[in-house]
Chains A and B, each alone.
Chain A
């Protein structure tokens, strides 16, 4: 990890969430290693157990390596009503994954579920890294995945 990411922030424990976000975003495999947590703890002057407690509390952080693209399918009620379960099934099939939380062998995609993403107007929806995709249909999912597989940019 590049120390500059941490040092962008003042060594104040209040900046912990920001720092964890930035470290995770800076890595292709989108996760926080124990070493990262230790570095952060040292920099902020707080126990590493506290840092890990925080990192494991919030669902946007992961302590396991993940794919280049993190697909977070919303499964809250509004999306559920609009067919989120089918969407999830479709993603699983397309990516050849059995379980939520798994990463494809080529390390390209990790499939996760999420609570409401705040874009319910276009339910069913998902987020892939920072980008929202709404009004999902089987066709649209295929298009998105194909696009990303071909190395298209995420936007």
Chain B
């Protein structure tokens, strides 16, 4: 049996892989069938009815996203009748949709908007029938605007199939159907704030809680000292918004733009990423010496942390007590930085730019006030930063590069790769290896930790001990790893792993829920490549080599896992299984 079939699309013969759906097959013939609910990375559901085509010999139209091709299938994608019907379908969808584009977060990015444009819909033909359901703004991270929802079901595929969180579900039936949580409030649900639903939503029905105005207010307040940190994954995703190839590293221009926006000090979360490695690496070494508890599980992804607290509270002790780099930065900004620059911490406003929606929630956790203030005041997503840059008309692509301010701005290659799956593991091993063995690694590259395989398992030999490591990204993959840990624990067996890295988002933070729209897996891989390229090109590639890290321990923290570290850089977790 051959693994391809021949089909005829609009009269053109093409050979396509067997088992693919018409929508993919047509692309081979150069035809992008108009679509709405289909998403390359998700199981197609056939909800919207836009991608209809005619298949010779078959009654009615077929949905090209859910219909597999068969040999010699003759497909017509653009007869007059189909185009008419497709338009009517979109007109029906628009009849159930507010015409709020001008004041919509998704304006300019919306797939419904561009579909309407693509099909040439130039007037309202069908009188509106709106549901008028209230906006849910209960969550610190995820806002739902049900009236803008077209029930494409993509968010369900992300939340249920990929993240296995099941925070949201279709409730009710027929015209009354709404994608929502059991109580109707995001904040009361098991939602872990990862924003993967936002990332795939074609419309403005889901978006982050926007904090731009508060940041402007702080910047414009002469009393405030506003400092900003940016996560590693930001520098490689900004380019997409300024017509540059995805994965292009704009770190220098980013610093400059932030200064142009008016931030008083521009630092970098990468600095605290290096610090995280010092703390977490030391934690790991300590456990090696004490022979456990294993596995040590990374803790820098707040989406993952809430997932763990909700679904796996029993493995709480295994999770590293290190705060995420964002929160380490926050705590230091109002202590270390305040002291060094002699600024009243009450006047400091700490802003983070994150690829992440969960970090908005993390910043408000009651544990995150170890400086005596809310450590991080505002968290903006990559998209919000882009919005601010565009608001004032900075052309990011053409401005000069700049440098971060130096106290908390220097970083190594190890910190940069934090932004993608496997990066934290790789960074930690680079440091742990040297600290344990006293010898330098032959090569910094730990290839087994890289790539987008859902679960990556491998062994490393450190001073005669075989360490079992696992890297999982996307919480469905995390479950696979964790279930093994739980199972072993239940049976009283030793843990199958010593060290586990988990990132809530597929691809890690390059695929975060706050990243620019159009964040497909392919796009995430390009961003990841940008990070590895930066790391590979750096002189310092191990966290412990960062001179400013040496300085902070000397001047302020004393030593990893020391008293001050514990106070400022470590945290504890809360069981949340009652949410279930």
- On whether A and B touch (CB less than 8 Å), the answer reads yes
How many chain B residues have a CB neighbour from A under 8 Å? Answer: 14
A42: contacting residue among B168, B189, B190, B580, CB under 8 A: B580
Of chain A, the residue at the smallest CB distance from B578 is: A38
Q: Please tell me if the beta carbons of A48 and B171 are within 8 angstroms of each other in the complex.
A: no
Q: Can you name 4 extra interface pairs (CB under 8 A) apart from A42-B580, A49-B182?
A: A38-B580, A41-B580, A47-B166, A49-B168
B residues contacting A by CB (< 8 A) are 166-173, 181-183, 189-190, 580
Residues of B contacting A58 with CB < 8 Å?
A: 173
* Assembled-state Cα–Cα distance A47/B167 (Å): 8
Residues of A contacting B171 with CB < 8 Å?
A: 52-53, 56
B169: contacting residue among A34, A38, A42, A50, CB under 8 A: A50
Q: Please tell me if the beta carbons of A49 and B169 are within 8 angstroms of each other in the complex.
A: yes
Q: Please tell me if the beta carbons of B173 and A37 are within 8 angstroms of each other in the complex.
A: no
Residues of A contacting B169 with CB < 8 Å?
A: 47, 49-50, 52-53
A37: contacting residue among B168, B181, B182, B190, CB under 8 A: B182
* Assembled-state Cα–Cα distance A52/B184 (Å): 11
Q: Shortest distance in angstroms between A11's beta carbon and chain B's nearest beta carbon?
A: 15
Q: Please tell me if the beta carbons of A57 and B173 are within 8 angstroms of each other in the complex.
A: yes
Q: Shortest distance in angstroms between A36's beta carbon and chain B's nearest beta carbon?
A: 12
* Assembled-state Cα–Cα distance A59/B173 (Å): 9
Q: Please tell me if the beta carbons of B172 and A56 are within 8 angstroms of each other in the complex.
A: yes
* Assembled-state Cα–Cα distance A42/B183 (Å): 17
Bin chain A's interface residue count: 10 to 19
* Assembled-state Cα–Cα distance A57/B171 (Å): 7
Of chain A, the residue at the smallest CB distance from B180 is: A49
A residues contacting B by CB (< 8 A) are 34, 37-38, 41-42, 47-50, 52-53, 56-59
Of chain A, the residue at the smallest CB distance from B172 is: A56
Q: Shortest distance in angstroms between B522's beta carbon and chain A's nearest beta carbon?
A: 30
Of chain B, the residue at the smallest CB distance from A53 is: B169
Residues of A contacting B183 with CB < 8 Å?
A: 34
At the interface, is chain A mostly helix, strand, loop or mixed?
A: helix
Residues of A contacting B173 with CB < 8 Å?
A: 56-59
Q: Shortest distance in angstroms between B184's beta carbon and chain A's nearest beta carbon?
A: 10
Of chain B, the residue at the smallest CB distance from A51 is: B182
* Assembled-state Cα–Cα distance A57/B272 (Å): 48
Residues of B contacting A52 with CB < 8 Å?
A: 169, 171, 182
Q: Shortest distance in angstroms between B200's beta carbon and chain A's nearest beta carbon?
A: 18
* Assembled-state Cα–Cα distance A38/B393 (Å): 51
Residues of A contacting B181 with CB < 8 Å?
A: 49
* Assembled-state Cα–Cα distance A56/B179 (Å): 12
* Assembled-state Cα–Cα distance A47/B311 (Å): 11
Residues of B contacting A53 with CB < 8 Å?
A: 169-171
- 4 closest A-B pairs by beta carbon, nearest first, are A47-B166, A49-B169, A53-B169, A56-B171
Residue among B169, B172, B173, B182 having the largest count of chain A Cβ atoms under 10 Å: B182
Q: Shortest distance in angstroms between A16's beta carbon and chain B's nearest beta carbon?
A: 13
* Assembled-state Cα–Cα distance A52/B179 (Å): 12
Residue among B168, B169, B580 having the largest count of chain A Cβ atoms under 10 Å: B169
Q: Shortest distance in angstroms between A67's beta carbon and chain B's nearest beta carbon?
A: 22
* Assembled-state Cα–Cα distance A37/B181 (Å): 13
Of chain B, the residue at the smallest CB distance from A55 is: B171
* Assembled-state Cα–Cα distance A56/B166 (Å): 16
A-B contact pairs, 29 of them (CB 8 A): A34-B183, A37-B182, A38-B580, A42-B580, A47-B166, A47-B190, A47-B580, A48-B182, A48-B580, A49-B166, A49-B167, A49-B168, A49-B169, A49-B181, A49-B182, A49-B189, A50-B166, A50-B169, A52-B171, A52-B182, A53-B169, A53-B170, A53-B171, A56-B171, A56-B172, A56-B173, A57-B172, A57-B173, A58-B173
* Assembled-state Cα–Cα distance A113/B396 (Å): 60
